[in-house]
Amino acid sequence: MIAIYPGTFDPLTNGHLDIIKRAAKLFPNLLVAVAESSSKKPLFSLSSRTQMVQASILEANLTNVSVEGFNHLLVDLAKEKQAYAIIRGLRVVSDFEYELQMGYANASLEPNLEMIYFMPSLENAFISSSIVRSILEHQGKISHLLPQSVLKLIQKEGFICM
């Protein structure tokens, strides 16, 4: 039984890792699927974002979690991996509206795919990748928002991180 947690993860935050850890407790196999998402113009390459997720999984010692990049429909990836559930995070009402639409679209393409939504832990509720990118671009402190392994990879790419 496989569940998929898809996202752009640009970059992976403590909020994302919180959801990965919690989902890993519920599902015997969790695939973190890093979307290419070229239309979103990510700051980090697909390869870098995949490395960030992999490093965080290793750092957290999550043996039932794997990671891979993808650039096609999520429902096609789910069919390919024989996944039965998609994990998504909901922080605010606007997330719910977007995820509801996406959930219905996915259900229209694959009715047997279950959508499972996680609320973040309170300490991670305000964290988003876009907030991290904005702080990073202005050379502000992001170390409390990211797993240490991700922070090290961002520094390795030449960004100044506090």
Q: Burial of 67 by CB count in 10 Å (0-12 exposed, 13-18 middle, 19+ buried)? A: buried
Most confident of 54-58, 98-102, 127-131, 138-142: 54-58
Residue 141 falls in the annotated catalytic set:
no
CA distance 157 to 51: 12
Report CA Rg, the chain: 15
Tokens of 150: 């991700």
With b for 16 or more beta-carbon neighbours within 10 A and e for fewer, the 9-33 pattern comes to bbbbbbbbbbbbbebbeebeebbbb
1 has pLDDT over 90: no
Q: Which of 21, 22, 91, 133 is catalytic?
A: 91
Residue 72 falls in the annotated catalytic set:
no
pLDDT of res. 117: 96
162 has pLDDT over 80: no
Identify the DSSP state of 20.
H
Per-residue pLDDT tens digits for 39-71: 889 999 999 999 999 999 999 999 999 999 999
86 has pLDDT over 90: yes
| H or E element in which residue 5 lies | strand 2-7
Q: Where do the domains of the chain lie?
A: 2-156
Residue 21 falls in the annotated catalytic set:
no
Residue 108 falls in the annotated catalytic set:
no
One-letter-per-residue 3-state SS of 56-109: HHHHCCCCCEEEEEECCCHHHHHHHHCEEEEEEECCCHHHHHHHHHHHHHHHHH
Looking at CATH, the fold of the domain delimited by 2-156 is given as Rossmann fold (3.40.50)
